Structure 1
Amino acid sequence: MADRADGGQTQRRHQRLHVLPKRWLVERTFAWLMRSRRLARDYEGRSDSSEAVIRWSMSMVMSRRLARRAR
């Protein structure tokens, strides 16, 4: 096979993209959090109150999911 001027980049370009499962999990969680209006912008002045709003939002998400499963 002849030497390639592109250094094998053609093969790298044609490889399929593999979705990382943990990244998908994090992106999905961020999407759930962004459904809360208060988390769409950074309104909180202190980091502990931001953390409290994040915990409140996730507890709402989880309670809705658990209530949906109980039906």
Structure 2
Amino acid sequence: MPTKETVKVLIAKVLNVSVDIVDDELAVGDIPEWDSLAHMRIIAALESDLGVVLDIEQTLEIEDVEDIVDAVLNNE
């Protein structure tokens, strides 16, 4: 089962940034690396690397790292 830290490391990897800047409040558009295309790459990485499948509604509701972590940890 993925952990909060695992999710943050994956986000940092996809965005090609240091995990140190990936805090709960980091949101889409806060940094140039996190644009709409990168957002979709994060969702795809969650599925391919962690086996987490989010429905379209969940994907559209995600605005920041905390939302991603919550969606992953509460995924059934």
| Larger RCO (alpha carbons 8 Å, 6+ apart) | 2
Structure 2 length as normaliser, TM-score?
0.29
Q: Higher Cα Rg: structure 1 or 2?
A: 1
